[in-house]
Amino acid sequence: MTRIAVIGCGYVGAVSAACFAELGHEVDCVDTDPDRIALLRSGRSPIHEPGLEPLIQKGIQGRRLHFLDEYPDQFEAKIVFIAVNTPESSEGAADIRWVRDAVSSVAARLGPGSIIVNKSTVPIGTGELVAGMAGRAGRGPVSVVSNPEFLREGSAVRDFMQPDRVVLGSDDPQAIERVASLYAPLEPVIQRTDIRTAEMIKYASNAFLATKISFINEIASICEALGADVAEVAHGMGMDVRIGGQFLKAGLGWGGSCFPKDVKALAHMAAIHGAHPQLLRSVMEINSDQRLRAVAKLRGALGELEGQRVAILGAAFKANTDDTRQSPALELAQLLLLEGASVAIYDPVVPAARLNHLVPMATVAGSVEEAAKDATAVVVATDWPEFIHMDLARLGEGMARRVLVDGRNVLDPLAVRAAGFDYRCVGRPGAEGPALAPALEGVHA
């Protein structure tokens, strides 16, 4: 057992802390948000993340998990993880203000021989900056390790407990081994590298995944123009082990708290160091076009959007999370409001109060049927199972017009059309409406 500290109790910090406690370590978690700490102390998770709350409760009961809303005078822990937010700045760079604050608070409270571990996604070179700050705090030699986090919201606990790899970057091999030993019960594959490379692995991984999605979205547009089915194309491509099937799903595009800011930050870093990130720029452009294409599909089905009532199913950026940061669903809602449509939003887990705050002009509904009542169109914006299996006949009953835009390509086109809907999707035959490919024609005769 090792005593460690985790700074920041958000998606990454809370999951890492609870999982490290589950592995037998004693974990002090510090967050400057007192409400968040109060919630955690009571055994509740501040985020919707499957499996997290039981681990938090177990950690508290076993006295291995301690939540603090202030920094202690001195850390007992010798290994301190930084897991604070690094949002996008107005220029597109990662804003590391919170990392600086956390490191200056930590560095003043560490004993010699301690290790600061960067789990936040930070620009290349931040490890050296952190080492400089720790050195200036004058508390004796402190090592810095970069340990980027790859968990996915919605399966974060499983991803932490069964990592594909653990990346550890440092110029201090002993510090790497001390951090590696924390993960030993998981028997992970560990990549040991220098600190800049570790920082870059995180950005390159996210940029590649975003590129895969933008790639298949571009192929979807070409499929629409040429009459091919992108779902089948992706399936055929994905069976090739060199390509792999994941992240090849056409739809409204990527969002969330990581891809948008990380792709932008990487492009920014590249540009200010004289590289030309043309691919990254195209990846971002294709992604924002996907939201506009959904508006165009609605316009194709409904005509002018002024005065139309559109129900948006799902508000988070994907299923199994309540994270609405840079959510395609909410961006689409804003675009429709700008066009003069009225918008009703339903999400199974995002609190109504947050939606009212984020999209004050929209109505927040308590169910699929309530959102769809009197709507002229419904958009499936998040791939929650609840939407994939919804009762289409019941859905259509309360609607003023039966138009359904499947922004995630998760519904069966034949079933939706058989239920009397004008069905539009992304890159599949008839994506733009009733002009069906030959294989589907008979169904609607």
Ligand X SMILES: NC(=O)c1ccc[n+]([C@@H]2O[C@H](COP(=O)([O-])OP(=O)(O)OC[C@H]3O[C@@H](n4cnc5c(N)ncnc54)[C@H](O)[C@@H]3O)[C@@H](O)[C@H]2O)c1
Point out the residues that are catalytic: 258
Nearer to ligand X, 30 or 201 (CB): 30
Among 4, 5, 13, 146, binds ligand X (CB under 6 A): 13
Among 31, 224, 322, 347, binds ligand X (CB under 6 A): 31
Shortest CA distance to 100 belongs to which of 76, 116, 78, 79? 116
d(CA 269, CA 357): 33
* Residue partners of 87: CB distance under 8 A and separation at least 6: 94, 95, 261
Stretch that binds ligand X, among 17-25, 101-109, 167-175, 269-277 (CB under 6 A): 101-109
Q: Where in 234-273 is the site for ligand X (CB under 6 A)? A: 257-258
DSSP state string for 176-209: HHHHHHHTGGG---EEEE-HHHHHHHHHHHHHHH
List strands edge to edge, sheet with 342-346: 363-364, 342-346, 309-313, 377-380, 403-406, 422-424
10 scored as a contact of ligand X (CB under 6 A): yes
Length of the chain: 445
Nearer to ligand X, 11 or 183 (CB): 11
Give me the least distance between CB of 7 and ligand X, in Å please: 5
Q: At what angle do helices 195-226 and 126-136 cross, to 10 degrees?
A: 150
Nearer to ligand X, 147 or 287 (CB): 147
Among 19, 29, 30, 332, binds ligand X (CB under 6 A): 30
Q: Kindly report the number of other CB atoms within 10 A of residue 297's CB atom.
A: 23
Stretch that binds ligand X, among 1-9, 55-63, 337-345, 351-359 (CB under 6 A): 1-9
d(CA 220, CA 253): 11
9 scored as a contact of ligand X (CB under 6 A): yes
402 scored as a contact of ligand X (CB under 6 A): no
DSSP state string for 92-125: SSB--HHHHHHHHHHHTTPPTTEEEEE-S---TT
Nearer to ligand X, 53 or 149 (CB): 149
8 scored as a contact of ligand X (CB under 6 A): yes
Nearer to ligand X, 321 or 342 (CB): 321
d(CA 127, CA 145): 7
Q: Where in 119-138 is the site for ligand X (CB under 6 A)? A: 120-121
Q: At what angle do helices 52-61 and 11-22 cross, to 10 degrees?
A: 50
What x-and-dash track marks residues 71-100 binding ligand X by CB under 6 A? ------------xxxx-----------x--
Nearer to ligand X, 203 or 423 (CB): 203
Give me the least distance between CB of 150 and ligand X, in Å please: 6
Contacts with ligand X by CB under 6 A lie at 7-13, 30-33, 36, 83-86, 98, 101-102, 105, 120-121, 149, 151, 153, 257-258
